[in-house]
Amino acid sequence: MDDKKRNEAYNKYVKAKLPKTRPWPSLFNSFLVGGIICCLGQGINDLILLWFPNMAEQTAWAYTLIVLIFIASFLTGIGVYDKIGKFAGGGSIVPITGFSNSITSPAIEFKHEGIIYGICVKMFTIAGPVIVVGIVSSILVGIVYLFI
Partner 1 sequence: MYYLWVFLIGGFICMLGQVLIIYTNITSARILVTFVLIGVLLEAFGIFDPISSFARAGINVPIIGFGASLAKGAIGAVRAKGLLGAFTGGLEATAGGIAAAVIFAFIFALIFKSKTKN
Give the footprint of partner 1 on residues 48-87 (CB under 8 A).
61-62, 64-66, 68-70, 73-74, 76-79, 82
| Stretch near partner 1 under the rule CB under 8 A, chosen from 1-9, 19-27, 48-56 | 19-27
DSSP-assigned letter for residue 94: S
| Stretch near partner 1 under the rule CB under 8 A, chosen from 2-10, 31-39, 48-56 | 31-39
- Report yes or no: 21 and 89 within 8 Å, Cβ to Cβ: yes
Q: Who's near 73: CB < 8 A, 6+ residues apart?
A: 100, 101, 103, 104
Least CB distance to partner 1 at residue 4 (A):
23
- Report yes or no: 91 and 39 within 8 Å, Cβ to Cβ: no
Spatial CA neighbour of 109 closest among 99, 100, 118, 98: 118
Closer to partner 1 by CB, 3 or 24: give it. 24
Least CB distance to partner 1 at residue 135 (A):
6
129: helix, strand or coil: helix
Least CB distance to partner 1 at residue 51 (A):
17
Cβ count near 94 (within 10 Å): 16
Determine the size of the site formed for partner 1 (CB under 8 A).
75
Q: What backbone phi and psi angles, to 5 degrees, belong to 94?
A: -70, -40
Interface pick for partner 1 out of 7, 8, 13, 32 (rule CB under 8 A):
32
Interface pick for partner 1 out of 9, 19, 96, 117 (rule CB under 8 A):
96
Interface pick for partner 1 out of 52, 86, 111, 114 (rule CB under 8 A):
111
Interface pick for partner 1 out of 8, 86, 113, 134 (rule CB under 8 A):
134
Q: At what angle do helices 124-146 and 96-109 cross, to 10 degrees?
A: 140
